[in-house]
A and B are shown apart, each in its own frame.
Chain A
Amino acid sequence: MSTLLEIRDLTVGVGEKIILRGLDLTINAGETHVLMGQNGTGKSTLASAIMGNPAYTVRSGSILFEGEDITNETADKRARRGLFLSFQNPEEVPGITLENFMRTAKSAVTGEKPRVMQFRKDMNAAMDKLNMPQGYASRELNVGFSGGEKKKAEILQLLLLNPKLAILDEADSGLDVDAIRIVSDGVRRYRNEGNALLIITHNAKLVEELTVDYVHVLDQKKISLTGSAELITRITEGGFAGLGDNKADKGGASASREAQ
């Protein structure tokens, strides 16, 4: 089992404010991790730090991808290594069509120009699976897309770029019940033994059909609790408050890291 992502003692701030302090997380190939936590605890900040958003500063600690330190790398270099983030709030980019953007991105991550016809075929096939009308390919990237359409477009990009580690930041928010099932199917199709997922969510729905290996809770600027899939049910039924006493019994990935 090879380690894809290893975060050591990470402290992240924006401006003067510290949002994450001393956070550890290890994700191996073949694993699906779920990250939960109350609003504003720093889940998206963690995703931003992993992807390399320059708005967030790593104050100390390190981020390793496949054993190499990427803490100071720009986002595009990380993407070319095989990291992907499905944004909680995808940006609208006027002037560039979804298809043109995807073709450019594909050639950036693979290092070779995809053949136009083949690429279009792959893109159409992926759009069909996500139940996205093909007209969206020629629309400007995310411009005027509804909330749910933006999320689907993110998953479309996931399927086409086929990264080693995909972080999904609330990929399910704003989706109707059918769309959640479609997206969840798409995510399941993406997952294989060689890649991994970090899913940030407030809902059990998206991950119901997936085999979840670890569930982490973010609280007090770090991962305060790690458990197995049943933790999702406990949280969705009893809320974060109900976890209170159990916060001490850490398990799973963080624990195994500490044992190293």
Chain B
Amino acid sequence: MEIKLKELNALPVRTWHRLGVNGNTVETSADDTLSYSVTRSALPDIVTETNAEELRCAEFRTAVGEEATEYIRRESNAGVRVRARRGYEVEKPVTARYSLRSGALLDDNIIFAEAGSSLTVVLIFDAFNGKPCFHGGSTRIIAENCATVNLIQIQTLNNASTHISDVSAIIGNGASVNVTQIELGGASATVGCHLKLEGNTASARADTFYFGNGDRRLDFNYIARHLGDGTTSSLTASGALFDRCDKTYRGTLDFIRGAAGSKGAEIENTLLFSPDARNRSAPLILCEEEDVEGSHAASIGKIDANKLYYMQSRGLSEVEAKRLLVTAQLETVLKNVPGEEERERLRDYLSGRIKANALR
């Protein structure tokens, strides 16, 4: 089947034409037959299955784009749809690990945390072999008053596959949503996250780590929309670019009138390991409200020759020094990943990629 999706990851305001950071297009094909295996953890008693009906009156916004998310939801063939009961803190994460063999996996996920509950969901997208697959995911999150939702998404698809993921959250009074995205594979990954801080003192975090090698195209769009009083958001993206990797990052802090006393911070840490890698960045801070604090900090650069020499003078080869720098970035997001086994898998995966990259 052919898949063509346009206007993905568009900026909320179109002012960046010249930089080429407006929406991208994904055009790919996948086998007609979907083949994959999935391992899902059993749901604890206090978590029930839910469905889109229960979301009817919630107004979600998309970061990846209407066209793509509607397509994913309409054609959906998988998904984790869970609802945590009022006041319950669910300790065990709800996990779904997909291994793709062929075709297009379209998962429509819903995470509903009733007031005062807390819930962690882990979604892992892996590939069996080198066949090109397509993964499109839509994850809608509702965190009612004082609820906490942690979403961890891990993507280790093969280098021929295409990945699109849209996360959209609505966050109530005193509630918090923490999204961790680890993007290590794929020919192309389009990742968007829209965090709507609706309630007073709502808070949101998006922690992203990416690894770009070969001809991978990475396209990110993060939006924190501050509506309530005293809301806080933090968008952090760290990663490393090798070879001819092409990365675009968009981060928008949108302070709507009335969001008094709100704070938002965007942080980008990019390690550039190749002169042929392309790194584009469009940080945007929109303020309708005056009483807010928005900040953007970026450290984007080649690894400093003096720092590299310093590390080498202690016995580390150039590759080891680079591996250490990149894995240190990974460690900061691994803190959010439950399960030592999965953390080890990701460390090994990344180390292996960096070593293989050095040998070429």
Contacts and interface: CB of A to CB of B under 8 A. Distances in A.
Interface stretch (A50-58, A184-192, A201-209, A241-249): A50-58
A104 B316 contact: yes
A108 B316 contact: yes
Interface residues of B, number: 22
A197 to B, nearest CB: 16
Nearest to A53: B309
A53 B307 CA distance: 11
A108 B325 contact: no
Contacts of A179: none
A85 B314 CA distance: 8
A101 interface: yes
A76 B315 contact: yes
A79 B313 contact: yes
A100 interface: yes
Contacts of A79: 312-315
Interface in A77-108: 78-80, 84-85, 87, 90-96, 100-101, 104-105, 108
Interface in B301-342: 304-307, 309-318, 320, 324-325, 328-329, 332
A225 interface: no
Contacts of B316: 76, 104-105, 108
B328 A76 contact: no
B313 A51 contact: yes
Interface in A101-135: 101, 104-105, 108-109
Nearest to A93: B307
A94 B315 CA distance: 18
Contact of B309 (A75, A84, A101): A75
Contacts of B305: 54-55
Residue of A76, A91, A108 with highest tally of chain B CB at under 10 A = A76
Contacts of B313: 51-53, 75-76, 78-79, 84-85, 87
A76 B324 contact: no
Nearest to B238: A95
**Chain B interface helix/strand/loop/mixed:** helix
A54 B314 contact: no
A74 interface: yes
A104 B324 contact: yes
A46 interface: no
A52 B307 CA distance: 14
A90 B314 CA distance: 12
Given A76-B317, A108-B316, A87 B310 contact: yes
Contacts of B325: 93, 95-96
Contacts of B332: 95
Nearest to A107: B315
B309 A54 contact: yes
Contact of B306 (A91, A95, A96, A105): A91
B105 to A, nearest CB: 34
A32 interface: no
Contacts of A100: 324, 328
B309 A55 contact: yes
B307 A75 contact: no
B258 to A, nearest CB: 37
A119 B341 CA distance: 23
Given A100-B328, A104-B320, A161 B314 contact: yes
A52 B304 CA distance: 16
Interface string A144-159: 0000000000000100
B328 A96 contact: yes
A86 B315 CA distance: 13
B329 A95 contact: yes
Given A55-B305, A55-B309, A91-B310, A80 B315 contact: yes
Contacts of A90: 310
Contact of A105 (B307, B309, B314, B328): B314
Given A52-B313, A76-B313, A79-B312, 13 more contacts: A52-B312, A74-B312, A84-B313, A91-B307, A93-B307, A93-B325, A94-B299, A95-B325, A101-B324, A104-B320, A104-B324, A105-B314, A108-B317
28 contacts: A52-B313, A53-B313, A54-B309, A55-B305, A55-B306, A74-B317, A75-B309, A75-B312, A76-B315, A76-B320, A79-B313, A79-B314, A79-B315, A80-B315, A87-B313, A91-B307, A91-B310, A92-B307, A95-B328, A95-B329, A96-B325, A104-B320, A105-B315, A108-B314, A108-B316, A109-B315, A157-B314, A161-B315
